């Protein structure tokens, strides 16, 4: 039976590999936006609704249909990922597989701390392998099908292995302390584990920009002086402690434009990808970076940590309740004595996944509210309503531009293109300006 499963998985992966080669060979599709000139922008009605519609009308029907299809398929992937997590947990717990592996880990590790680490790594590797087919489809095949990826399969898979290695190190660091806290605090274990997870999140925020991100991309100072000078001027206007602007080669992996301002405890790194530099104008770059600087100035990192703390406490309280019920019913069948038994780790992972699956709209709303705040901060800082709107149109290549209100609430972690452009046009209407105190054409110079 086990050999049959292994052969089935191997065949499925081989099929996906063949499909991935075909996907990579397919011509990439790019977002199609009708070009306009300064006269068009100047002639836009100052009514925000009419101006917003004029912007959205620049998108070709094919682009809108492709964005809608990509986004709506992503809704289903949320469900399929959760269902797959459920199936993987069942596969690991049934037949006392987890219990047998726990016993082997105890014999090899001898000490509980080491055995917990061995079990954690084994569980993570098994989950990674069992979910690999969906990972290949979701993050390689599908991205190529929609013209969003630029990597070949070998390069993409090599980066997946790097990510796996990093995650294994995190598991070795995290699992033994988590199991120790569970055993020490008894029924209130979830409180202690939530606190530990928050501490890990803070460490990740400090470590990731310095040690993890450079594993996947090369970072160097922006060579275009006009870009770096204007971005730094905006940063210094709001006391962001940055002395340089960095670009990274995201075009190795994707066509998407992106940027970020990372750092906590008085540090800041201002970074934008080469797609943004290549595909957009200076007003668009100013608008995007004004948004990213807004996240930093408005302390969104710390606010998100507070939100995550609430979610961790709520999620682990839910997990504690669900695990009590599950182990009461199936614990003997699985040969798992309780939540302090490391063999229960797959069940804990499933319980946390279940909480975040049902909390998807809540998490999305937390992020979306901060994105709206950063949008408005960026408009006031950059004074680029047209640059901002043009940049938002570029994002339509992977975001549905005009969803319904319920759809946006449930599935969007960023505001829709209609919402964001309407905000920019409202700002323009209120300020009676087409740029930073000057016509839009002058702002490009």
Predicted confidence at residue 268, as pLDDT, reads 86
Q: Phi and psi of 331, rounded to 5°? A: -55, -45
CB 373 within 8 A of CB 294: yes
Predicted confidence at residue 312, as pLDDT, reads 97
- Give the Cα separation of 342 and 432 in Å (integer): 63
Predicted confidence at residue 355, as pLDDT, reads 98
Q: What percent of the chain has pLDDT over 70?
A: 90
pLDDT > 90? residue 142: yes
305-339 pLDDT, tens digit per residue, is: 999 999 999 999 999 999 999 999 999 999 999 99
CB 388 within 8 A of CB 285: no
Look up residue 71 and give its two tokens.
Answer: 């986004």
pLDDT > 50? residue 1: no
Q: Which of 427, 420, 429 is nearest to 382 (CA)?
A: 427
Predicted confidence at residue 16, as pLDDT, reads 54
User: Where is 269: in which H helix or E strand?
Assistant: strand 269-273
User: Where is 324: in which H helix or E strand?
Assistant: helix 300-334
Predicted confidence at residue 266, as pLDDT, reads 80
264-312 pLDDT, tens digit per residue, is: 888 889 999 999 999 999 999 999 999 999 999 999 999 999 999 999 9
Q: What mean pLDDT is predicted for residues 15-21?
A: 55
In terms of pLDDT, which residue wins out, 271 or 10?
271
Look up residue 403 and give its two tokens.
Answer: 């969803």
- Give the Cα separation of 97 and 10 in Å (integer): 20
Mean pLDDT (the chain, rounded): 92
Predicted confidence at residue 17, as pLDDT, reads 57
State the number of CA atoms in the 13 A half-sphere of 124 facing the CB: 19
Predicted confidence at residue 186, as pLDDT, reads 92
Within 10 Å of residue 266's Cβ, how many Cβ atoms? 6
Predicted confidence at residue 296, as pLDDT, reads 96
- Give the Cα separation of 136 and 156 in Å (integer): 9
Non-local (6+) Cβ contacts of 385 within 8 A are 379, 424, 425, 427, 428, 431, 433, 434, 435
Predicted confidence at residue 14, as pLDDT, reads 62
pLDDT > 80? residue 169: yes
Predicted confidence at residue 265, as pLDDT, reads 86
Q: With bands split at pLDDT 50, 70 and 90, how would you rate the model's confidence at 95?
A: very high
Non-local (6+) Cβ contacts of 117 within 8 A are 109, 171, 172, 175, 176
Lowest-confidence segment of 120-124, 425-429, 433-437 by average pLDDT: 433-437
* 254 Ramachandran zone, left/alpha/beta (phi>0; psi -120 to 50): beta
CB 275 within 8 A of CB 250: yes
112-132 pLDDT, tens digit per residue, is: 999 999 999 999 999 999 999
Predicted confidence at residue 432, as pLDDT, reads 74
Lowest-confidence segment of 2-6, 124-128, 328-332, 408-412 by average pLDDT: 2-6
């Amino acid at each position: 039976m086990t050999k049959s499963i292994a052969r089935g998985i191997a065949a499925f992966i081989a099929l996906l590999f063949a499909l991935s080669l075909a996907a990579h060979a397919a011509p990439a599709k790019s977002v199609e936006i009708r070009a306009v000139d300064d006269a068009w922008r100047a002639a836009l009605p100052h009514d925000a609704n009419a101006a917003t519609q004029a912007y959205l009308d620049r998108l070709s029907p094919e682009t809108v249909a492709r964005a809608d299809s990509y986004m709506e398929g992503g809704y289903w992937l949320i469900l399929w990922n959760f269902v797959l997590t459920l199936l993987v947990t069942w596969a690991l717990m049934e037949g006392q597989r987890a219990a047998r592996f726990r016993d082997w880990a105890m014999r090899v590790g001898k000490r509980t701390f080491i055995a917990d680490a061995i079990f954690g790594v084994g569980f993570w590797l098994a989950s990674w392998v069992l979910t690999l087919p969906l990972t290949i489809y979701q993050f390689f095949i599908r991205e190529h099908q929609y013209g969003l990826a630029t990597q070949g399969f070998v390069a993409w898979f090599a980066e997946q292995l790097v990510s796996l290695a990093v995650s294994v190190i995190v598991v070795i660091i995290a699992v033994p302390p988590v199991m120790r806290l569970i055993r020490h605090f008894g029924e209130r274990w979830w409180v202690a584990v939530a606190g530990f997870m928050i501490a890990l999140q803070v460490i990740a925020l400090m470590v990731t920009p310095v040690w993890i991100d450079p594993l996947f991309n090369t970072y160097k100072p922006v060579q275009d002086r006009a870009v770096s000078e204007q971005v730094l001027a905006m940063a210094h206007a709001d006391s962001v402690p940055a002395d340089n602007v960095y670009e990274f080669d995201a075009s190795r992996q994707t066509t998407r434009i992106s940027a970020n301002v990372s750092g906590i405890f008085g540090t800041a790194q201002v970074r934008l990808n080469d797609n943004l530099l290549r595909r957009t104008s200076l007003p668009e770059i100013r608008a995007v970076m004004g948004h990213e600087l807004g996240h930093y100035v408005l302390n969104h990192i710390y606010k998100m940590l507070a939100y995550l703390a609430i979610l961790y406490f709520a999620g682990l309280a839910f997990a504690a309740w669900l695990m009590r019920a599950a182990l009461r019913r199936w614990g003997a069948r699985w040969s798992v004595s309780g939540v302090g038994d490391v063999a229960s780790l797959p069940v804990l992972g499933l319980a946390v996944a279940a909480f975040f699956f049902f909390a998807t709209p809540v998490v999305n709303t937390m992020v979306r509210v901060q994105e709206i705040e950063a949008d408005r901060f960026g408009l006031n800082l950059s004074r680029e309503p047209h640059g901002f709107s043009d940049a938002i149109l570029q994002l339509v290549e992977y975001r549905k531009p005009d969803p319904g209100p319920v759809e946006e609430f449930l599935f969007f972690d960023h505001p829709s293109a209609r919402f964001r452009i309407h905000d920019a046009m409202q700002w323009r209407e209120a300020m009676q300006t087409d740029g930073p105190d000057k016509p839009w054409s002058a702002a490009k110079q």
